[in-house]
Structure 1
Amino acid sequence: MLKIAVVILNWNGEKLLEQFLPSVQAHSKGAEIYVADNASTDNSISFIKNNYPSIQIVQNTTNGGFAKGYNDALVHIDADIYCLLNSDVEVTENWLTPIRNIFKKDYEVAIVQPKILDYKQKDYFEYAGAAGGFIDQLGYPFCRGRIFQALEKDKGQYNDVKEIFWATGACMFIKKTVFNELKGFDEDYFAHQEEVDLCWRAKNHGHKVMYVGSSKIYHLGGSTLSNMNPKKTYLNFRNSLYSIAKNLPRKKAFPIIFIRLLLDGVAGIRFIFQGKLNHCLAILKAHLSFYKNFNKIFKKREKAKYMPNYYAAKSIVWSHFVYHIRKFNILVKD
């Protein structure tokens, strides 16, 4: 039987642990549960020890964000499969069974994501991951069930098992051997889109990333940084450029980076007209950080198999903002 470790990264999340740990403990039979604590200053650790003595704690010495937090913690955890689970997730009965089955069925499967629904509106998909992630030909990430801020209602349209491009960090199952092969998350990302980069690298190494719609969870979302936070804008814009520079062949990477920088400028102007000057400044800071760190990031490129057809759509920006496409099945025809 595959040994699964459910690992919840926590930073000052006592209230979230109090709310969401009960479902994880109740429905994760056969798995070991860990809380990887990123040097919290609240009562998270004492709360776990007093109320959930069976849950194991890995104490990180610093708050290195999502990427470093998991990299530091997972070296101390022995399992065949890591389940990286956000602290604001409610899991459902038997949610692990379909995940175990797909890992057993197909050896090439390295990463798996369940269906991600909104905790507040449980019949709608949730922003972070929805029904599996893809990217367009310019490297913009999007999901089945979510295109930018447009969320679809769950009507069973994505109850399938499907190969995807990236799995969300809100709930990602990954083989320990593959995580180690890829040397974990890129800590220069700190947080946001590090899972896109990890899955992209896994793809470049010939591994499969899968979505399993028969396993579902409910994600609260926005508990660390909301979509209205300029820091999230900064990280998303910068880290997306990082991924393109690292993971595409040179002939594709440089033209796409140039186009993306121009489109980011358009996005900045749009933020100004919306009265969101802080978000425009966040894009500017993201570009400055990208220029500053370009050589460092570019040197991380690996000699691996680049995916010849890595994208699911030509331009998600054009399709969404010009043609007003809101649903994946209209945008992408199987």
Structure 2
Amino acid sequence: MKIAVVILNWNGVTLLEQFLPSILQFSSEAIVYVADNASTDNSISFVTAHFPTVQIVKNDSNFGFAQGYNEALKHIDADIFALVNSDIEVTENWLVPIIETFEKESRIAIIQPKILDYKNKDYFEYAGAAGGFIDKYGYPYCRGRIFETVEKDKGQYDDDCEIFWASGACFFIRSSVYKELKGFDDDFFAHQEEIDLCWRAVNKGYGIKYNHKSVVYHVGGATLQQGNPKKTFLNFRNSLLMLTKNLPKEKLYLVLFSRMLLDGLAGIQFIFKGKFSHFTAILKAHASFYSLLSNTYKKRGLFQSKKYYNTKSIVYNYYLKAGKVFVK
């Protein structure tokens, strides 16, 4: 299989200097690309000078994660796209088990490796951990990470199971499926676009898998820190967009209404914590959602799977039942 490892970059020369060497060292099966979102630092000249085997794809503007990859991948020919954050350290033979799964299981369209914390390598990393799921109301969580609780890797998720979504931090997808689904949704800009793409793949009958034999380490928060109000805006807005596109019709309106109430409670919580900028971010997220609602509804596919969630309410389980770890 022809594999393209594609690293989306925006003003990330320091990260490229730190993490490109491991990718080049352990990715002999692939061609490595840097897709640059119109950086204003010396990223391109640095890569050209120090890593001449890396292919460069230049975008005209900073399109964010979603459109940034959509634009770049138009210029890359491969059977498998490996979309890798610039703050990922890979390990020896990380591509081999991924290739084997794609070759053996034709229904599997998307794969995620085990994602551990670069800063604390015995623990899972927040963005992806051991594979993603969502609850009935569209709240994402992972095996190994539920809300702010991150588990130590004790081998408890050393199984290659089907999951609902794969982390955009290290995301493998068949190029044919990527093109069939028309890639990420440009309106998302960044955050949860990978969950939306996975949900659309599930609605088309494809499978998504976690492979524990492929291991990477992720720094996390290199572009937008967890406490950034813009991240709050994108997460709340994009979650509502995703629900509108992918929920089965008989659940759409009730779940959306419930989510908006829950978003209101989250906003009140931010007020009590003195995080007024995050409360404002939720208001802006809802306003943006309403402005995009008509166009987003038109993006709904012909079929929406009724089996999309693993847990009815992760909020209830986590905060009221003390369910801090993943339970199948």
So what's the TM-score if we normalise by structure 2? 0.99
- Which residue is equivalent to 1:321? 319
1:323 Cα offset (Å): 1.8
- Which residue is equivalent to 1:36? 35
- Which residue is equivalent to 2:8? 9
1:274 Cα offset (Å): 1.1
Q: Secondary structure at the match of 2:161?
A: strand
| Counterparts of residues 125-144 of structure 1 (less than 5 Å) | 125-144=124-143
- Which residue is equivalent to 2:159? 160
- Which residue is equivalent to 1:146? 145
- Which residue is equivalent to 1:71? 70
Q: Percent identity of the aligned residues? A: 62
1:302 Cα offset (Å): 1.2
- Which residue is equivalent to 1:197? 196
- Which residue is equivalent to 2:123? 124
1:307 Cα offset (Å): 1.6
Amino acid at match of 2:168: G
1:324 Cα offset (Å): 2.1
- Which residue is equivalent to 2:48? 49
- Which residue is equivalent to 1:276? 275
The 2-side partners of 1:111 and 1:120 are apart by: 27
**Number of aligned pairs?**
328
The 2-side partners of 1:72 and 1:325 are apart by: 41
Q: Secondary structure at the match of 1:142?
A: strand
Q: Secondary structure at the match of 2:68?
A: helix
- Which residue is equivalent to 1:307? 305
The 1-side partners of 2:29 and 2:242 are apart by: 35
- Which residue is equivalent to 2:92? 93
Amino acid at match of 2:213: S
- Which residue is equivalent to 1:170? 169
1:308 Cα offset (Å): 2.1
- Which residue is equivalent to 1:20? 19
| Counterparts of residues 156-305 of structure 1 (less than 5 Å) | 156-304=155-303
Amino acid at match of 1:315: S
Q: Secondary structure at the match of 1:211?
A: strand
Provide, for residues 68-96 of structure 1, a one-character-per-residue CA deviation record: whole Å limited to 9, x for no partner: 10000001001000000000000000000
Judge conservation of contact 2:248–2:305 (CA < 8 Å) in 1: no
1:309 Cα offset (Å): 1.5
Could you list the runs of 4 or more consecutive aligned residues of structure 1 that deviate by over 2 angstroms after TM superposition? none
Judge conservation of contact 2:132–2:163 (CA < 8 Å) in 1: yes
Amino acid at match of 2:173: I
1:4 Cα offset (Å): 0.6
Segments of structure 1 that go 5 or more residues without pairing to the other structure are: none
The 1-side partners of 2:279 and 2:149 are apart by: 21
Q: Secondary structure at the match of 1:78?
A: coil
Segments of structure 2 that go 5 or more residues without pairing to the other structure are: none
Q: Secondary structure at the match of 1:163?
A: coil
1:154 Cα offset (Å): 0.3
1:163 Cα offset (Å): 0.3
So what's the TM-score if we normalise by structure 1? 0.97
1:192 Cα offset (Å): 0.2
The 2-side partners of 1:42 and 1:211 are apart by: 35
Amino acid at match of 1:288: A
The 1-side partners of 2:124 and 2:84 are apart by: 17
Q: Secondary structure at the match of 2:289?
A: helix
The 2-side partners of 1:213 and 1:240 are apart by: 27
Q: Secondary structure at the match of 2:166?
A: coil
Judge conservation of contact 2:248–2:306 (CA < 8 Å) in 1: no
